Structure 1
């Protein structure tokens, strides 16, 4: 059997360590990762190897040559472009032949028993078999769900938490029949996970998953790289360690040929020393790896650290939890704190101090006595993940700093490409203004032009992005839920929230810190567009029956929440003939975030005013003008779930003859379905996110309305996203058409009991809980759109949904009987607690 090694990885997230070498050549315990993969294949008598190379191919080819010195035969296939994983293998089809073959990544650390996976593949008569394993955090990988028979039933590439149905993930190790390559186009970008595997599922081609209990780790980040070494030293993974083995009371030492050590008294744990290395007197080394041809001076301290070949560390230096690249010089009495990653050919002067969480690019020099430090509070928090969906959030002026903003702007610019134009905006908060300007600096430094709307609503930004003039956009705001936080929201060229796949691409650029800085004469321009508000208002009013609304002479109370709508909506309501009492109708940054007590007080005040002056309805907008809350004509607050039912009733009463489908999130009450059934309208379900609501509008033109459970409503004839200002105006139009008031409708609707409970769940256990939830509810009718939704009967259901950001799992339950709801929540709370403990 032949093997194909995917050896084209850039190793972006491992930079600066991979600035001069491809990711497969990064050493693990002094041996390149790809060398270890070849040893693993050879162990199972797979010696005919095809290496697919792309980035720094000569480094790989010069090391392995034809493979003879390693006991294998290696053929190389160079790609002239990035054809994706499956496309790259298809490009090597002539070398593969007509027999089954193994595909394995050249940059993972594993001791998986490949022979067992191969036997499993043939026993099942499979055309494609994925080796899968279980991990604590599955977000970075492709999730695989298998039936009891081993057949793969579902595959999801790099999901959000709401899409996590299991903690079993794709390892990137496959046993394939060449037949499956017939579905892969030649010399086109095509991935196994995104493209080929969904085709196999759709065509019901035999497709199986082999679960391994062996060690597997993707060396995806610098933290992964360090932890992989500690796993090797602890024995968690079976790897070859070269050198003579010496045991002392406190240590196990592997020492290479021609190396000299002046005493092992201060060694502890497992220590690996390469060939031709000299270590001085009284050196303390704990759980560390020293490369070949290194020199370590007297009385140094090296703890949990990896040092590559040909590096010299002078007397009295102290290093803890660091990685030092090739050919570096670390001066006397240097102190290097935790999580410092130094690339090749760097020189650290005598008595210099490097603070935690620093990266040094190749050939950098730190002068004698210098203190190299950054205020990188955010580095710990954002060491692996930056985005939550399309949003980056952090503590204002601590995590959200100008330095961070400029770096993030440069990463976004590098992703979009030089010469493009980006639309930016913000709310009235001072930190938002600061971060907006920092992001602009990063963008123009990458050679992009910026159109700055300054203070604008999010719906207006989305509307302007639809013009087709922009490569993307972003909006900076004070967090609506935490007054100490700032949010940065990213949009694609169509005004949609940036998809997870693109967000992860920006993350890789951000963490890699490899941003192209354009020459001075290519730095981008900053422009301030005109007539944006006028264009928005024109489209807004053209999407309404203005004359009909004007005839009603509506009297309404609006709480603007001190947000951006105050600069736009009064003019619109005036043109709609409304008599308006306005509350909090001025921009005030300090009041953009309300806590629960402040929110309730504002709602009570709104309700009191509506009833005391006998107005038709009261509305409250959130500061970003995306969502609304409603007080009916009787002064009653309509909860978000109930408001959705009310607006659905209004919409279908007005337009049912022209509506075939509407959509609501997976968490929405079944009341919506009961109402829609009266009008013969189909209800589609979306993921529990604004992106999911927008996505269904763009994918399904028959959907004429999407209602959320948090006060957001989408009317596609105007905009594909929720706009609170338009929602208010549209509700007034629906009331005009039907002649109905909010309170009248609410009283007439069916009423079910919907409750929610939130359980604490460590992030590392969320995947496991969702896997067991999926497995143990197979006998029920279910929806796996977002979380696991289980139907008990026509009116009774329960939903298990992991939180996208927090270490929590939410349980939603609904029924026509309160006792059933309480019972379901209790039953599934107990199940989740047990799943976490199992």
Structure 2
């Protein structure tokens, strides 16, 4: 069995971070989100991975390499533009051959991995197996409709009027039956070959399409809010590790990781939190659910529930929270300027100004 991992999206919802970096490499607890998926695939006993890449191919290749660090053998498959999940299957046809495969969206995060799902698929081997989860607003997802016996009878991509609250999670398992289906469909109104249309083709031709409704934690890390939420979830499982320097005037409370080469002086850190290698934290407060990357500077500042990427600096800022700070970013106080009000008022106006 092989794995097809999609890492070619543009990441528009994470801009401006993704103007200069692949969205799959944005770190969660100081580790690229893509790594969690690759580790899950390796833990499921799969060793051959095809990585669909786009314009950020060089950056992903530099960080991921040949896959040996995960116990994987990775083949890079270029996609000229984001043309849909089914298009990724189409262009990977030669590499996939006649093997069964799991398709994994590289910016998705699933607590507990996929080993159980893969094992069940191998035992039963339906033509397709999809993961579903209940969401409050399914209009932003592919949505499944089930019959009274729980069988999949219909799929829609981002419908205006969803027929259920069951959204497709970004993990799919297929036999080679999917290849005929992706060739049979046409681009959607979005101009993409939708995997939901391909699976619907399997349903219409009476193929065996099964679903599993997961109750565990899943997130599509496509926007800042979800990135911070996933970061929080991962940090909650941290085990404290103080390998860097922490002076006697500093206070460490809860689950905190201070990587080797980091220095914490005259500061207070409330876990769960992680401080990357080479980072300096001085006269500052780092609050819960914060990950600070490598070689950062946090000086005379307060940061909480945030992700700070490597080489960023925050100096003299009273409070930062629920934020994503990019690589080499600099955050400093604004210069003090006189406050003034400019008014153009009509006759008989009444104005209250809070000074």
- TM-score, with normalisation over the residues of structure 2? 0.84
**Counterpart of 2:64?**
64
Distance 1:314 1:148, change over 3 A: same
In structure 1, distance between residues paired with 2:43 and 2:104: 15
Q: Which of 179, 182, 185 is the aligned partner of 2:183?
A: 185
Distance 1:199 1:284, change over 3 A: closer
Which has the bigger relative contact order, CA under 8 A and spacing at least 6?
2
**SS of the residue aligned with 1:117?**
helix
Q: Does 1:268 align with 2:266?
A: no
- Residues 173-212 of structure 1 correspond to what in structure 2 (within 5 A)? 173-185=171-183, 189-193=192-196, 195-212=197-214
**Counterpart of 1:15?**
15
Structure 1 residue 316, shift from structure 2 partner: 4.9
CA contact (8 A) 1:142 1:156 kept: yes
List alignment gaps of at least 5 residues for structure 2: 339-355
Structure 1 residue 112, shift from structure 2 partner: 4.4
CA contact (8 A) 1:305 1:322 kept: yes
CA contact (8 A) 1:150 1:210 kept: no
In structure 2, distance between residues paired with 1:169 and 1:153: 14
**Counterpart of 1:130?**
130
Distance 1:307 1:99, change over 3 A: same
CA contact (8 A) 2:178 2:199 kept: no
Distance 1:52 1:43, change over 3 A: same
**SS of the residue aligned with 2:178?**
helix
Structure 1 residue 32, shift from structure 2 partner: 1.1
Q: Which of 283, 286, 309 is the aligned partner of 2:285?
A: 283
In structure 1, distance between residues paired with 2:309 and 2:219: 21
In structure 1, distance between residues paired with 2:320 and 2:272: 16
**Counterpart of 1:41?**
41
In structure 1, distance between residues paired with 2:298 and 2:153: 54
**Counterpart of 1:153?**
153
In structure 2, distance between residues paired with 1:287 and 1:215: 17
CA contact (8 A) 1:317 1:330 kept: no
- Residues 416-565 of structure 1 correspond to what in structure 2 (within 5 A)? none
CA contact (8 A) 1:12 1:18 kept: yes
**Counterpart of 1:169?**
167
In structure 1, distance between residues paired with 2:168 and 2:307: 28
Q: Does 1:328 align with 2:329?
A: yes
Distance 1:287 1:184, change over 3 A: closer
**Counterpart of 1:297?**
299
CA contact (8 A) 2:10 2:82 kept: no
In structure 2, distance between residues paired with 1:303 and 1:370: 27
Structure 1 residue 99, shift from structure 2 partner: 1.9
Q: Does 1:32 align with 2:32?
A: yes
CA contact (8 A) 1:86 1:192 kept: yes
**Counterpart of 1:77?**
77
In structure 1, distance between residues paired with 2:68 and 2:151: 38
More helix by share: 1
CA contact (8 A) 1:2 1:101 kept: yes
In structure 2, distance between residues paired with 1:20 and 1:370: 33
**SS of the residue aligned with 1:275?**
coil
Distance 1:242 1:39, change over 3 A: farther
Deviation per residue, 1:458-512 (Å, 9 max, x gap)? xxxxxxxxxxxxxxxxxxxxxxxxxxxxxxxxxxxxxxxxxxxxxxxxxxxxxxx
**Counterpart of 2:352?**
none
The CA RMSD over aligned residues, in Å, is 2.5
CA contact (8 A) 1:121 1:208 kept: no
In structure 2, distance between residues paired with 1:39 and 1:124: 24
Structure 1 residue 315, shift from structure 2 partner: 3.5
List alignment gaps of at least 5 residues for structure 1: 335-351, 353-367, 372-838
Q: How many residues align?
A: 327
Structure 1 residue 279, shift from structure 2 partner: 0.9
CA contact (8 A) 1:243 1:255 kept: yes
In structure 2, distance between residues paired with 1:280 and 1:82: 43
In structure 1, distance between residues paired with 2:99 and 2:240: 35
**SS of the residue aligned with 1:209?**
strand
Structure 1 residue 148, shift from structure 2 partner: 5.6
CA contact (8 A) 2:181 2:199 kept: no
In structure 1, distance between residues paired with 2:241 and 2:97: 39
CA contact (8 A) 1:243 1:257 kept: no
Larger radius of gyration: 1
In structure 1, distance between residues paired with 2:81 and 2:252: 54
